[in-house]
Amino acid sequence: MTYSRIIGTGSHLPEKVLTNADLERIVDTNDQWIRERTGIHERRVVGENESTIDLAEGAARNAMSAAGVDKSDIDLIIVATTTPDRVFPSTACLLQQRLDIHGCPAFDVQAVCTGFIYAVGVADSMIRSGAANTALIVGAEAMSRIIDWSDRGTCVLFGDGAGAVVLQASEEPGILTTRLHADGAYEELLYVPYGVSTNPDKIRDGEAYVQMRGNEVFRVAVKTLGRIVDETLAETGLEKSDIDWLIPHQANIRIINATARKLDLPLERVVVTVDTHGNTSAASVPMALDVAVRDGRIRQDELLLMEAFGGGFTWGSVLVRY
Ligand code: ACO
């Protein structure tokens, strides 16, 4: 039986740091409110001449170097992003060009904060079916570009960055299961109201911003992530106590704590980066994974549960033997 294994991770953050104190100068907010309600202390944002593709390239190169693969080994590229550089070519094709890789399939997936989980799910299916052998999967976002910097309800939450993994076919597991879901009925709770086919003028004038009914999103997120934990474990017959690390989407420390409680996992077994990254949407899970791999917390053969929830609504999980 063929599985896909994570053989390398990488991430890349823009240099510019935006602290809660910086935000106090922009909107009516304060450090204490942001820390208590979200767990965020600071986040990174792209500079004027920087964009999603720059972050994606940095993360991809770091992951390929950690995996010890050459560009000629990569036969599939998937980028998860909500903030592509262009309508087309896809960010994955732009990345392919930056990496001087030619010919292999390259495409984007758009599932907002769950995008990386979706991308891993697709790549895992392609590797297990024999359609690909070595896949480069990237979650990259410049969320600061679609934030209304006068809306204190959203601008304190988001950050920019990119994370990546290289997945390779292996006889040994590997990814044990991926669970992917969506329900478009929740469209009105979290969305950007304009798009290129409906209101191109709003896009042109830079008015296409994230709108969120945070309180309601919070409640559905906690309930849904609890359910996906149960579903993922039931699918594999594993127990909560088998999980070594929870690597959650980094939206809010209170949502993370609720999911950890559901798993009876002590917080020492949860990778938390929301304090310094904020919510980086599709980049959040792979960046958190990379942080904990590089600082030596995550070791070979440990069982990792990655999960995310985001606009759509979309939600999903990946259970992986590292
Ligand atoms: N600073 C100070 N006060 C604020 C701020 C701020 N930045 N933002 C809101 N407030 C005020 C509100 O106006 C409100 O004041 P009022 O009581 O006088 O009306 C008060 O704080 C409480 O507001 P709530 O919205 O009820 O605060 P809550 O505890 O729900 O926290 C938050 C808000 C942090 C947004 C939370 O609801 C949350 O994290 N929601 C989930 C976000 C999420 O998970 N998104 C999913 C992924 S994102 C994606 O897919 C793109």
Catalytic positions are: 113, 249, 279
The answer to whether the CB of 23 is under 6 A from ligand 1 is: no
Give the per-residue pLDDT at 214: 93
Q: Which of 40, 41, 211, 215 to mutate to test ligand 1, by most ligand atoms within 8 A of the CB atom?
A: 215
CA of 182 to the centre of ligand 1 (A): 23
Q: What is the mean pLDDT of the chain?
A: 96
CA of 224 to the centre of ligand 1 (A): 19
Residue linked to tokens 């149960």: 230
Give the per-residue pLDDT at 52: 98
Give the per-residue pLDDT at 207: 82
The answer to whether the CB of 156 is under 6 A from ligand 1 is: yes
Cis before 173? omega within 30: no
- Residue 206: pLDDT band (50, 70, 90) is confident
Radius of gyration for the chain, computed over Cα atoms and rounded to the nearest angstrom: 18
The H or E element spanning position 9 is strand 3-12
- Residue 141: pLDDT band (50, 70, 90) is very high
Give the per-residue pLDDT at 164: 98
Query: Could you please report the per-residue DSSP string of 255-314?
Result: HHHHHHHHTT--GGGB---HHHH-B-GGGHHHHHHHHHHHTT-S-TT-EEEEEEEETTTE
pLDDT reading at 202 higher than 90: no
Q: What is the pTM of this model?
A: 0.97
- What percent of the chain has a predicted confidence (pLDDT) above 70? 100
CA of 153 to the centre of ligand 1 (A): 5
- What percent of the chain has a predicted confidence (pLDDT) above 90? 94
